[in-house]
């Protein structure tokens, strides 16, 4: 077993290089080329999604989502305090107000009870995050919204499915359930092209707007399909289409999706099995996967009961060659949130969960040695907690 187990490692073989070589030897390097079109069609078929648009990142797909929904000055958008900055920035960039809500202790996804509390007449959207590739509670979130829609108020659901490609809520793919879904193909994600993302919707009207926004606010895509004879500027927009070179890498990765899922599952289950005893001794708490969720095993994480133990335990794991980590630092009390919010936000459950979180290395190539790595983690936990007399 190697001395140091990194936190993440890209799963690749010769096919990514071959895909790039083939595209480089051709004449179409720009976006929306043959590889991009094939990837969109493959994602659409796999996930049963009516519209899929590749983007340059999930950050950009989220920005598109806020533009498509016409979020504007003073509109409120509810999102968990426990998320990546891009979720909140997308709201802010349109002049919207991010309204931070609590997460559930069992799976770190948005708490529908707190969503219900935070809906106001200014609420325009809710953004659940599928943390670790485990579905947020759609039923709970929809109920919270439905209780407020009697007055005719429309509240959209935008799934921040950055971590959730190939994960499911019942028999529906994450990213295809809300009004809009956003994926990430960053190289920390299960399927990657380095930097990339996708915008998904099942709604034709939203798809049409997304297509303009992604193509610099023009109807150039309809022009290229021969549907109109010239194209022009028809909405705000930007340049969100990835080069075909990246789409080629993504296509090669997509072909390996079943293998990637099976290997990640193997690692996740090795941790789960071998750390059970640590949970039984109440040294740690293991995450739960709700019955409605099929995970894509993006993250394996656990919590220590006492926040004071988290950093020393992270150090002990690193000293033992385990590249463990934590993430996210909640956004609601980050410096920029304090600057833009007109009152301080307190989310005690989120703060406690973030301060007690530890994430373990998880990537397909670890499957070869996952039992040994999980044993090594268990040894560190045993030494750490026994030295404290627990
Ligand atoms: C919840 C969430 N949203 C958005 C992003 C941003 O994704 P990208 O790096 O593709 O812009 C991330 C990145 O990790 C994320 O975890």
- Give the chain's domain count: 2
The answer, yes or no, to whether any atom of ligand 1 lies below 6 A from the CB of 373, is no
Q: What is the pLDDT along the chain (390 residues), one digit of tens a residue?
A: 778 999 999 999 999 999 999 999 999 999 999 999 999 999 999 999 999 999 999 999 999 999 999 999 999 999 999 999 999 999 999 999 999 999 999 999 999 999 999 999 999 999 999 999 999 999 999 999 998 776 788 999 999 999 999 999 999 999 999 999 999 999 999 999 999 999 999 999 999 999 999 999 999 999 999 999 999 999 999 999 999 999 999 999 999 999 999 999 999 999 999 999 999 999 999 999 999 999 999 999 999 999 999 999 999 999 999 999 998 999 999 999 999 998 999 999 999 999 999 999 999 999 999 999 999 999 999 999 999 998
Among 208, 236, 255, where does a domain finish?
A: 255
Global pTM exceeds 0.75: yes
Q: What is the CATH number of the domain that holds 23?
A: 3.40.640.10
Q: Quick check: is 24 in a domain?
A: yes
Answer yes or no: do 61 and 197 share one domain.
Answer: yes
Answer yes or no: do 263 and 251 share one domain.
Answer: no
Q: What is the CATH number of the domain that holds 380?
A: 3.90.1150.10
Answer yes or no: do 241 and 316 share one domain.
Answer: no
Answer yes or no: do 264 and 126 share one domain.
Answer: no
The answer, yes or no, to whether any atom of ligand 1 lies below 6 A from the CB of 83, is yes
Q: Quick check: is 6 in a domain?
A: no
Answer yes or no: do 270 and 233 share one domain.
Answer: no
Answer yes or no: do 29 and 170 share one domain.
Answer: yes
Q: Quick check: is 8 in a domain?
A: no
Among 255, 289, 313, where does a domain finish?
A: 255
Taking the centre of ligand 1 as the mean of its atom positions, its distance from the CA of residue 65, in whole angstroms, is 14
DSSP 186-254: BTTSSS-SBS-EEEEES-HHHHHHHHHHHBTTB-HHHHHTTSSSS--B-S---B-PPBHHHHHHHHHHH
Q: Quick check: is 182 in a domain?
A: yes
Answer yes or no: do 74 and 56 share one domain.
Answer: yes
Instruction: Give the residue whose CA is nearest to atom 9 of ligand 1.
Output: 186
Taking the centre of ligand 1 as the mean of its atom positions, its distance from the CA of residue 150, in whole angstroms, is 34
Answer yes or no: do 154 and 198 share one domain.
Answer: yes
The answer, yes or no, to whether any atom of ligand 1 lies below 6 A from the CB of 58, is yes
**What does each C-alpha distance from 284 to 281, 287, 313, 390 come to in angstroms?**
8, 10, 11, 11
Instruction: Give the residue whose CA is nearest to atom 8 of ligand 1.
Output: 58
Taking the centre of ligand 1 as the mean of its atom positions, its distance from the CA of residue 318, in whole angstroms, is 25
Q: Quick check: is 4 in a domain?
A: no
**Which structural domain range is residue 380 located in?**
257-386
Answer yes or no: do 185 and 171 share one domain.
Answer: yes
Among 222, 255, 288, where does a domain finish?
A: 255
The answer, yes or no, to whether any atom of ligand 1 lies below 6 A from the CB of 184, is yes
Answer yes or no: do 270 and 244 share one domain.
Answer: no
Q: Quick check: is 344 in a domain?
A: yes
Answer yes or no: do 142 and 206 share one domain.
Answer: yes
Q: Quick check: is 322 in a domain?
A: yes
Q: Quick check: is 228 in a domain?
A: yes
Answer yes or no: do 108 and 190 share one domain.
Answer: yes
The answer, yes or no, to whether any atom of ligand 1 lies below 6 A from the CB of 129, is yes
């Amino acid at each position: 077993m190697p001395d140091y187990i990194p936190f993440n490692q890209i799963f690749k073989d010769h096919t990514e290089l071959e895909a790039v070589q083939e595209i480089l030897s051709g004449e179409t390097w720009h976006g929306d080329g043959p590889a991009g079109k094939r990837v969109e069609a493959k994602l659409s078929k796999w996930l049963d999604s009516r519209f899929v648009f590749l983007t340059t990142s999930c950050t950009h797909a989220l920005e598109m989502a806020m533009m498509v929904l016409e979020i504007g000055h003073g509109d409120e958008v509810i999102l968990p305090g426990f998320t990546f900055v891009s979720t909140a920035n997308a709201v802010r960039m349109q002049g919207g107000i991010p309204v931070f809500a609590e997460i559930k202790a069992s799976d770190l996804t948005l708490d529908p009870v707190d969503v219900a509390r935070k809906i106001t007449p200014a609420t325009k959207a809710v953004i659940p995050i599928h943390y670790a590739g485990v579905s947020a509670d759609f039923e709970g979130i929809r109920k919270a919204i439905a209780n407020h829609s009697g007055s005719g108020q429309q509240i959209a659901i935008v799934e921040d499915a950055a971590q959730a490609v190939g994960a499911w809520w019942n028999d529906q793919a994450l990213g295809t359930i809300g009004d809009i879904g956003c994926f990430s193909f960053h190289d920390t994600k299960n399927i990657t092209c380095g930097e990339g993302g996708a915008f998904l919707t099942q709604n034709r009207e939203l798809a049409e707007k997304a297509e303009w926004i992604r193509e610099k606010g023009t109807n150039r895509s309809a022009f290229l399909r021969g549907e109109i004879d010239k194209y022009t500027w028809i909405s705000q927009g930007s340049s969100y289409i990835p080069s075909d070179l990246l789409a080629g890498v993504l296509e090669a990765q997509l072909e390996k999706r079943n293998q990637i899922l099976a290997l990640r599952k193997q690692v996740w289950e090795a941790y789960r099995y071998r750390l059970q005893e640590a949970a039984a001794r109440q040294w740690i708490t293991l995450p739960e996967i709700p019955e409605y969720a099929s995970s894509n095993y993006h993250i394996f994480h656990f919590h220590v009961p006492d926040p004071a133990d988290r950093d020393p335990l992270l150090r002990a794991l690193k000293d033992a060659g385990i590249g463990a980590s934590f993430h996210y630092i909640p956004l609601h009390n980050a410096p920029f949130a304090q600057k833009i919010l007109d009152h301080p936000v307190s989310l005690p459950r989120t703060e406690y969960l973030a301060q007690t979180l530890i994430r373990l290395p998880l990537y397909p190539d670890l499957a070869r040695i996952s039992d040994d790595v999980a044993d090594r983690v268990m040894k560190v936990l045993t030494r750490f907690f026994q030295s404290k007399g627990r």
